Every structure is written in structure tokens, then in C-alpha cells.
Amino acid sequence: MPQMIFINLPVTDLDKSKAFYEAVGATNNPAFTDDTAACMVFSDVIHTMLLTHEKWATFTAKTIPDAHQVAQVLLCVSADSRADVDAQVEKATAAGGKADPTPTQDFGGFMYGRSFEDPDGHIWEVMWMDPTAIPAGEPAEAEA
């Protein structure tokens, strides 16, 4: 079984956040959703848990930062093509997100990436890469 990742994000408006994530391609898993949390499924191995601030507080006493003002993480997902990168950012923008809060990364024929913010300011980067097209002898400067 492949290793899965569950990304937990604090949200101020659960219904608005669910609608946003559905608009960018996630599906809701009702088995792990209630009035305090929603499990949004991007793939068999990538799930995002949207947690109300009250629910978040049951996991940690640390203060929830305002992600519109500060960044603690940059979340990055892959795309199948440059066009898919642009389409994902366009979907996010149409759903109320903010396009390109970080600089576009364009390394020609081997890597291209853009980003968007969700309604709570969490930054998602969408990256396409073709490792076979990296010029020989040149390291790719990509995010981990």
C-alpha cells in the first residue's frame, strides 16, 4: 500500500472552504466529515483535512497564524502538463482563491509552476516537471 499524506488546515468557514476545494478538483469524503471537519480527497494518497479553528485546537495549543499575513508552509502538488498547471490556478481563482501569491517558476522545457491561495491564505503550488528534459550537468533548482 502506498504511503498516504493527510494535510490538516485550519479554516474559518468550513462550508466555504469545502466549496473551494471541490471547485479545484477535490471530492468530499463524507465518512470523515462533520460540522467541525471535512476530508477533501485529491487522489488515493493525498487528502486534505479542513478543520474549524475549534477542532484544530483539540490537536495543538499553538496559535493559528493568519495565513494571509504569514506563511508557515508551501504545499506543492504535481500536474501532468504546463496547461494543467495554468488550468488549476484558473479554477482556484474562479472559486475565490488568489492567483500567483508566489512567483511563477518557468524553467523552459523541463519545469513550470504557479501557485494559488485558498480562502484562508494557505498557499498551494502546482508544478509540472519532466525530469528527462533537464539539461545534462545542470541541477534543477526545484522545491522539495
The domain spanning residue 36 has which CATH number?
A: 3.10.180.10
Q: What is the pLDDT of residues 77-90, one digit of tens each?
A: 999 999 999 999 99
Is 138 within the bounds of a domain?
no
Q: 54 and 76 share a domain?
A: no
| End residue of a domain, out of 37, 59, 81 | 59
How many Cα neighbours within 13 Å face the side chain of 91?
A: 16
pTM for this predicted structure? 0.88
Q: What is the pLDDT of residues 92-130, one digit of tens each?
A: 999 999 999 999 999 988 899 999 999 999 999 999 999
Confidence tier at 143 by pLDDT (50, 70, 90): very low
Give me the number of domains the chain comprises: 2
Is residue 14 pLDDT above 80, yes or no?
yes
Per-residue pLDDT, 1: 83
Q: 85 and 35 share a domain?
A: no
Contact between 128 and 79 under an 8 Å Cβ cutoff? The reply is yes
Q: What is the pLDDT of residues 28-71, one digit of tens each?
A: 999 999 999 999 999 999 999 999 999 999 999 999 999 999 99
> What is the rounded CA–CA span in Å between residue 114 and residue 3?
26
Domain limits at 6?
Answer: 1-59
Is 16 within the bounds of a domain?
yes
Cell numbers at 83, concatenated: 496547461
Is residue 139 pLDDT above 70, yes or no?
no
Cell 500500500 maps to which residue?
1
